[in-house]
Structure 1
Amino acid sequence: MKLRNRLTLLFTGMIAALLLLFAGVVYLSYSHDREEEYYKTLQQQAVTKANLLLDAKVSPEVLQLIYKNAAGSRSQEEVAVYDTAFNLLYHDAVNIDKVKETRQMIREIVLHKEITFHEDNLQVVGFLYPHNGTAYIVTAAAEDEYGLRQLQLLFRTLLITFLVAAVLVFLVARFFSQQALKPVSDMVDKVEEITATNLDLRLAGAAGKDEMAELAQTFNRMLDRLEQSFDAQKQFVSNISHELRTPLTAMMAELEITASRDRPAEEYRQSMRHAIADAQRLVKLSNSLLDLAKASYDPSEINFREIRLDEVLMDARSAVLQAHPEYKINVVFEEADDDDMVSVNGNEYLLKVAFMNLLENGCKFSAPPATTVTVTWFKAHTILRFADDGIGMSKEDLPHIFTPFYRGDNRPYADGNGIGLSLALKIVRLHKGNISVVSKPGHGTTFTVELPHI
C-alpha cells in the first residue's frame, strides 16, 4: 500500500474514531438524562394522583374514569397505591396491571425508600410516600414515547452526521496527504532521471528548513559522494591502465627486439634482467593495489586485535631492510610507563604495510638513503615521527601527496606508482588515527602518525 493511501486511511480512522466516541458520549448522556428526567416526571405525577386520592378525597372511581378517558397511549401513567402491608388502596387499571406488584417488590420499596426499573419498554418507579404520619407505597409506570422518539431522532442524526463527516474527512485527508507528499513524489520523479551518466543532477527544494528539505539535502550529499566515487573510480581505472601499460609495453618491446634475431648470450641475459625488473614493478603494483583494496574494506570486515606497535614497527623495519639492504633506518623509542601504552587495537598486517611505505618513502628520496623513526608514548595515543633529510616536497605538491597515483616534482628522483602514501593514510584512518606531513624542499620531510591506545 502506498504511503499516501496509508496516511489517508490512518488519518480518517483516527478522526472517525474520535467522532464516533463523541457521538457515543452524546447519545449515552442524552439517554441517561432522559431516563432520569422521566423517572422524576413519573414520581411527580404519581404524587399528584396520590394527593388527589388522600388529600382531596377524590373517589377512586373518578380517578379511574380519568385514566380510562386518557387510555390508548403508552405514555399514560398507571399508578397504584398500597399500604405497607401490601393492601391495595388504589389502582388505575387492575384488569391491566402493567407492573404486577408483588410482596417482594413492596418490601424492597420499604427497605430502599425508592426503586426504579424497566418492565419491557415501560419505566417503573416505586417509592415510599409518607402522608399524615402514615406510609404508603406508590408505584407508577409508563412509556416515555416523546423522549424515546427524540432519542431515536438523535441516533439517526448522529449516525448520518458521522457518515457524512467520515466521507468529508476521507476527502480532506486524501487532499492533504497528496499535498504533503507532493515533494516526495517530485523527488521520486527527479531521482528516476538520475543515472550513472548524469550524476551531476541534484534534487530541488534543498534550500528550505523543513523535513523535506533535509531529505533533499541528505540525498544531494549522497549524490555528491557517489559522483566523487564514480570520478575517483574512473581516475583509478585510468591510472591503473597507465601504470600497467608502461611496464607491459616495455617488456613486450624488449622481448620483441630480443627475438627479432640471434644475439650473444650477454644480450639475452641483459634483456631478461630488464624483463624481470618490469615484472617486479608489476608485482609491486599488484601488491599495492591489493593492500589498497584491503584498507578500503568495511572496518567490521577486518580482523582487529590487541597488538604492540613497537613489534609491528620493528617487523616493518626488518622487511624494508631485507628488500633494500642499502637503506639505513634508525628507530628511537622513548620509555613507556606500561605495556598498555604500546598496545593498540588494530590489524597487524595493514599497520606493517603502512609503516613499510613510510619507511621506504623516507629512504628512497634521501641521499644516502636513510630515515629516522621516533616513537613517543602518551596516555591516550602514540606518536610516530618518520623523518628524513631528503629532497623534500614543494608547497604545490603537499596538498596532493595522499591522492592515489599522484606523483610530484620529485618523480624523476625515484621510481614509484603513487599508491604508498594514500595507502598509509587509509590504514591509519582505519585505525582511528591521523597522519600529517611537514616538508621543505632541500630540508627533508617528516610524517607524523597518531594512533590511539586501547
Structure 2
Amino acid sequence: MLIRNKLILRFTLLVLAIQLSFSAFVYYFHAAARQQRFSHRLAGKAIMTARLNLGAAASPVDSNAAPARAFRRRDLLTIEQEEISIYAPDNRLLYVSDDTVSQTENLRQLALGPAAGGVPVRFLSGPLEAVALTYGPAGRTYRLFAAGYDELGRAQLASLRLILLAGNVGALVLIILAGWYFADESLKPIARVVKQVKRITARDLSRRVDEGNGTDEIAQLAITFNRMLGGVEQAFEAQKSFVGHASHELRTPLTAALGTLQTGHAYDQNLAEAKDSMASAVEDLRHLVALTNGLLALAQADEAGFRRETVRLDECLTQALAQCQARYPGRTLQLRFGEVPDRLDTPFAVTGNAQLLTNALLNLLDNACKYSRANVVVVLGYRDPVTVAVAVADTGIGIEPAELARVTEPLYRAGNGRQEAGYGIGLAVTQKIAQRHGGELHLESAVGRGTTATLHLMAV
C-alpha cells in the first residue's frame, strides 16, 4: 500500500474514532437525562394521584392546606399510556388508574421493599418505563407505582440519533477529503525528491537533490542522499580511473610478452636466440603476475568481512621489518619506540587481521626503501591513550604537494617516482586496510627531503 493511502486511512480511522466516541458520549448522556426527566415526571404523577385519592391524612405536608394548592404545573401534563397504582402500608392495592394495569412488576418491586432514603426506583414494566416510591408520614407509608411511555423524549432521542448519524456520515466524507489533502501536502516534498532522483543516472552523477529548508525530516533525507550520492560519484570516478589504469598497466606487459614470443617464433634460428626471447617474455610475465597480485591485494583490502581478533602491532611490525630487510639487504632500518601510556595490560594491541596489518606496514617500509638510499626510521608509539601510531620516515625524493593527495589512488604514481619499479598500488592497499580497521593513513612530504607515512589505529 502506498504511504499516501496509509496516511489517509490512518488519519480517517483516528478522527472517525474520536468523532464516534464523542457522538456516543453525547447520545449516552442525552438518553440518561431523558430517562431521569421522565422518571421525575412519573414520580410527580404518582404523588399527585396519592394526594387526590388518599386525602390530607396521608399527606406529608400541612393537613390544613387545600389539595389544589399542592398541585404543580408538571402534575397537569399528560403522560402517554399512564398507569398509576397505590398500595397501603399493609401491601393492599388501594388504587389503580385502570383495570387493565398489570401488577406483576409492581408486586415484584413491592417484595423487594422500599429504596433507602426514599429515592424513587426505576424499572421496566413491559414496554413502559416505571418508578416505585414511598409516600406518607413515618409509620404510615404508602407505596406508589407509576408507569408510562415517554413519547416526546423518545422522539427527541430518535431525532438525535438521526442527526448524529447524518453528522458522522458527513464528517466521514470531510475527514477523507481532509486526509487526502494533508497527505498530498505532506508528501509533496517526497514526490519532488523522487522526481529529482529519477533524473540521476550513472552517466550524470553530478546532479543533487534539492535540500529544501535543511531542517525538517525530508530535508535531512535529501541531505543524507546527497552525501551518499557524493560517495557514489567518487566511487564511480575511482572505479573508472582504476579500470583505465589497470587496463593500461595489464596491457603493457601482455603486449610486450606477446610481441617477444611472436618475434622469437618468426625469426629465432637457434636455441640461444629462442632462450633470449623466452627470458624477455618471462620477465614481462613476472611483471604481469606482480601487478595481478597487487590488484588482488587491493581487492582483499576492500573487503570488510575479514576475521577480526586482538593483534599485537609490534609483532606485525617485526615481521614486516624482517621481510623488508630481506628485500633490501644493504639498507639500515632503525626501529624506535615512542611514548607508551602507563598501566597497559597489552601494549600495542589492536583489533583486526594480522596478515593485512603486516602487509600494510610492509608496503610503507618498501616505499621508504625504494625511494630513499639513506636509513629508514620507524617509530612505534601512541598518539594518545587510545591510538597506536606507526611512523615510517625516509629522506628520499619526496612528493610534490599537488600529487600528495592522489598517491593513495589505485595505480597512480607521482611523476618523480616513475623511474622506480612499481605499479602505484602499495599506498592504496595500505589506506584501504587502515580504513577497514577504523584507522587512517597520514602522509607528510617535502620534495628532496623525504616522506613520513604514519598509520594510526585504535588501541584495545
Same-fold status (TM-score > 0.5): yes
The code of the aligned residue for 1:90 comes to Y
1:108 is the counterpart of 2:124 = no
Shift of residue 215, structure 1, vs aligned partner: 2.1
CA distance in 2 between counterparts of 1:233 and 1:412 reads 22
% identical aligned pairs: 36
Alignment of 1:344-359 (within 5 A): 344-359=350-365
CA distance in 2 between counterparts of 1:433 and 1:188 reads 36
Deviations 1:334-385 (CA, angstroms, capped at 9, x unpaired): 69665511221111111111111101100011125x4221212564232212
CA distance in 1 between counterparts of 2:459 and 2:282 reads 43
CA distance in 1 between counterparts of 2:329 and 2:264 reads 32
Retained in 2: the 8 A contact 1:108–1:115? no
Retained in 1: the 8 A contact 2:371–2:417? no
Shift of residue 305, structure 1, vs aligned partner: 0.9
Retained in 2: the 8 A contact 1:79–1:141? yes
What SS class does the counterpart of residue 77 from structure 1 fall into? strand
1:16 is the counterpart of 2:16 = yes
What SS class does the counterpart of residue 457 from structure 2 fall into? strand
Alignment of 1:49-128 (within 5 A): 49-55=49-55, 75-93=80-98, 95-100=99-104, 103-110=107-114, 112=116, 113=118, 114-128=120-134
Q: 1:320 to 1:269 in 2, by over 3 A?
A: farther
CA distance in 2 between counterparts of 1:351 and 1:246 reads 31
Retained in 2: the 8 A contact 1:407–1:418? yes
Retained in 1: the 8 A contact 2:320–2:362? yes
CA distance in 2 between counterparts of 1:170 and 1:319 reads 75
CA distance in 1 between counterparts of 2:318 and 2:410 reads 26
What is the TM-score of this pair, normalised by structure 1?
Answer: 0.89
Retained in 2: the 8 A contact 1:86–1:103? no
> Which of residues 170, 173, 179 in structure 2 aligns to 1:164?
170
Shift of residue 309, structure 1, vs aligned partner: 1.3
1:313 is the counterpart of 2:300 = no
- CA RMSD of superposed structures (Å): 2.5
Which residue pairs with 1:38 in the alignment? 38
Shift of residue 398, structure 1, vs aligned partner: 1.9
Which residue pairs with 2:387 in the alignment? 381
Q: 1:326 to 1:249 in 2, by over 3 A?
A: farther
CA distance in 2 between counterparts of 1:373 and 1:102 reads 110
The code of the aligned residue for 1:178 comes to D
Aligned residues: 436
Shift of residue 101, structure 1, vs aligned partner: 5.5
What is the TM-score of this pair, normalised by structure 2?
Answer: 0.87
Which residue pairs with 2:217 in the alignment? 211
Shift of residue 430, structure 1, vs aligned partner: 1.6
Retained in 2: the 8 A contact 1:84–1:110? no
The code of the aligned residue for 1:306 comes to T
CA distance in 1 between counterparts of 2:307 and 2:451 reads 32
> Which of residues 329, 335, 350 in structure 1 aligns to 2:333?
329
CA distance in 2 between counterparts of 1:453 and 1:316 reads 19
Which residue pairs with 1:256 in the alignment? 262
Q: 1:209 to 1:343 in 2, by over 3 A?
A: closer
Retained in 2: the 8 A contact 1:341–1:382? no
Deviations 1:85-143 (CA, angstroms, capped at 9, x unpaired): 111222111x2114435555224343543422012221111111124862111111111
Deviations 1:411-432 (CA, angstroms, capped at 9, x unpaired): 2441211111121111112212
Alignment of 1:273-284 (within 5 A): 273-284=279-290
Retained in 2: the 8 A contact 1:109–1:128? no
Which residue pairs with 1:145 in the alignment? 151
The code of the aligned residue for 2:307 comes to N
CA distance in 2 between counterparts of 1:101 and 1:2 reads 60
Which residue pairs with 1:175 in the alignment? 181
CA distance in 2 between counterparts of 1:107 and 1:84 reads 13
The code of the aligned residue for 1:304 comes to R
Q: 1:412 to 1:132 in 2, by over 3 A?
A: closer
